Amino acid sequence: MNLEGKTLFITGASRGIGLAIAKRAAADGANIVIAAKTTEPNPKLPGTIHSAAEEIRAAGGHPLPLPVDIREEAQVLEAVQRAVAAFGGIDILVNNASAISLTDTEHTPIKRYDLMNGINARGTFLCTQACLPELKKSAAAGRNAHVLTMSPPLSMKTHWFAPHTAYTMAKYGMSMCTLGHAGEFRKYGIAVNSLWPRTAIATAALQMIPGVDIGACRKPEILADAAYLVLTSDAREARNSGNFHIDDELLAAHGQADLDRYSVTPGTTKFVPDFFVD
């Protein structure tokens, strides 16, 4: 099973992990809806929906760059309509867009709290809701419909909340969508899963966080390859839905034990760990 001819709606696909997942699917000849905010170049954060479209096209895919703020319902609904008009439907939703602020309660402005929850939890729910009618059609047509959300396993341990309660709440909101929607959509034959990295991933956004050693991170391609395994699994099988996958565990389970090619610095054994992995 591959992604040839499938249509993926990927939020935050203008750069980083979302773009890496898009390019991996593009290698099969997939249609990629790039639903992201950035339309003009930013010297601090490279990548726009248009530059992403060029990279996806070069990788063999068929891009549709759409300016979308996933906090805005009208923009999301319009993007879904344009995707259907261009490609005939939507087979896969990747909820990748996310906002982060590693601040404690005292130093988290409510505006920042609203931003994180608006993009992470609410945005994930909204995009899933908006794509659901098309995903149901895809599943009914036997096209292997999936929802994949880039969010961590749920854990009620204090140490994941105490340093940045607002961010953890917002990120876990995405994971709760996976938990609920996996059960809710099972009757339709739509698989719903989460995927999360064990290590920090070297993206332009990460480089904006002070003190992170990029050389001790892995490349976004590890998540792209792990996502591909999820999205090409049989959505109708119960074991393929409701999972909170960790990238290296999933790859190892599929026989990919040597992960050195994903290291920013080949030979690295001590990586910067990501949040939320016990």
The pLDDT assigned to 138 comes to 98
Q: What is the pLDDT of residue 211?
A: 73
Q: What is the DSSP letter of 254?
A: T
pLDDT of residue 77: 98
Among residues 113, 167, 172, 262, the one annotated as catalytic is 167
Q: What tokens appear for 105 in the block?
A: 């309660």
Q: Are 166 and 121 in contact (CB under 8 A)?
A: no
pLDDT category of residue 1 using cuts at 50, 70 and 90: confident
What's the pLDDT score for residue 146? 99
Per-residue pLDDT tens over the stretch 209-259: 777 888 999 999 999 999 999 999 999 999 999 999 999 999 999 999 899
Active site residue 167: yes
**Per-residue pLDDT at 42:** 85
The answer on pLDDT for 19 being more than 90 is: yes
> In the β-sheet with 191-196, what is the strand arrangement from edge to edge?
62-67, 31-36, 7-11, 92-95, 146-149, 191-196, 244-246
Q: What angle do CA 186, 142, 173 make, to 5 degrees?
A: 35
Would you say 94 and 41 are in contact if contact means Cβ atoms under 8 Å apart? no
* pLDDT 10s digits, 122-163: 999 999 999 999 999 999 999 999 999 999 999 999 999 999
* Count of CB atoms situated within 10 Å of the CB of 194: 26
Q: What would the pLDDT profile of 26-48 be if each residue is shown by its tens digit?
A: 999 999 999 999 999 888 888 99
Average pLDDT for residues 70-86, to the nearest whole number? 98
Average pLDDT value for the chain: 96
Q: pLDDT digits over 87-124, tens only?
A: 999 999 999 999 999 999 999 999 999 999 999 999 99
Nearest to 79 by CA among 3, 171, 7, 21: 7
Residue 46: per-residue pLDDT: 87
**CA proximity to 6, closest of 83, 90, 63:** 90
